[in-house]
């Protein structure tokens, strides 16, 4: 099919390859469907409310994000979290007792939610304030990341809505009741280490997480293997 379609169309269709030939071509709009069919391809399937992860990822990276993945919305189990709260491990973080149902079901944050797009952006940069004698956490050495990341996501959201006017979404950056690490893992961006921190194979653990919960489906990314193995460096470091 590569020789049949012009480059402008190759970037906008989702092709399912069979053993001998291309079985089906999936497109996102009826206009694209007609254009592809004009090349003599009969099995063209229209995917309503479908957003290719490549489109979202390309736009996200252009805005400064380091990676992006997609996970299908599902009701999350609550037993481990409930036991953690029951034991008082949240200390004085009483806000974790709030919005319990929303925290584990994105559909309660956005009606008709189908996909969680998860984003990471690294803050693993050199110390910018070495002239000071006191120490400041690396994540706090720049502008308020809540505002910076949220602004980027609103720009991304406007670009997506320009392409798909019925695209509905909720933006989440740290403060929303969302299990961020879980969705980042489900989206194939990394895994949770033995110190319970999220770890990206390429960007490490110094990353901010953010999400766009939306009413569109996507070609969901696969989870990656937990690569901690027998390593216990994070635990040893935290005890020193």
As a whole number of angstroms, the distance between CA 187 and CA 76 comes to 14
User: Which secondary-structure segment (H or E) carries 30?
Assistant: helix 30-37
- Catalytic position from the list 67, 82, 166, 174: 174
58: which 2 tokens?
């390309």
As a whole number of angstroms, the distance between CA 64 and CA 163 comes to 20
As a whole number of angstroms, the distance between CA 101 and CA 124 comes to 33
178: which 2 tokens?
């969302």
Pairing type for strands 169-172 and 207-214 reads: antiparallel
Residue 58 CB coordination number (10 Å): 12
As a whole number of angstroms, the distance between CA 54 and CA 120 comes to 15
As a whole number of angstroms, the distance between CA 32 and CA 185 comes to 33
Our answer to whether residue 174 is catalytic in this structure is yes
Residues in CB range of 195: below 8 A, 6 or more apart: 234, 235, 238
Pairing type for strands 44-46 and 22-27 reads: parallel
Point out the residues that are catalytic: 174
């Amino acid at each position: 099919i590569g020789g049949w379609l012009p480059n402008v169309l190759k970037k906008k269709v989702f092709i399912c390859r069979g053993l001998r030939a291309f079985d089906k071509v999936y497109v996102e709009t009826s206009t694209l469907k007609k254009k592809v069919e004009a090349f003599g391809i009969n099995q063209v399937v229209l995917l309503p409310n479908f957003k290719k992860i490549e489109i979202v990822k390309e736009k996200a990276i252009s805005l400064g994000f380091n990676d992006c993945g997609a996970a299908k919305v599902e009701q999350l189990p609550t037993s481990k979290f409930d036991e953690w709260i029951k034991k008082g491990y949240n200390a004085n973080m009483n806000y974790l007792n709030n919005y319990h149902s929303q925290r584990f079901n994105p559909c309660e944050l956005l009606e008709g939610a189908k996909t969680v797009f998860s984003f990471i952006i690294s803050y693993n940069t050199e110390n910018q304030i070495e002239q000071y004698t006191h120490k400041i956490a690396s994540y706090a050495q720049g502008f308020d990341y809540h505002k910076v990341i949220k602004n980027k996501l609103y720009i991304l959201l406007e670009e997506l809505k320009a392409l798909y006017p019925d695209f509905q979404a909720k933006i989440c950056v740290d403060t929303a009741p969302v299990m961020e690490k879980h969705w980042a893992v489900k989206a194939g961006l990394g895994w949770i280490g033995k110190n319970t921190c999220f770890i990206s194979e390429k960007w490490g653990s110094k990353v901010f997480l953010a999400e766009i919960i939306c009413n569109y489906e996507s070609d969901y990314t696969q989870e990656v293997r937990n690569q901690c193995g027998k390593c216990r460096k994070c635990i040893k470091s935290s005890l020193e």
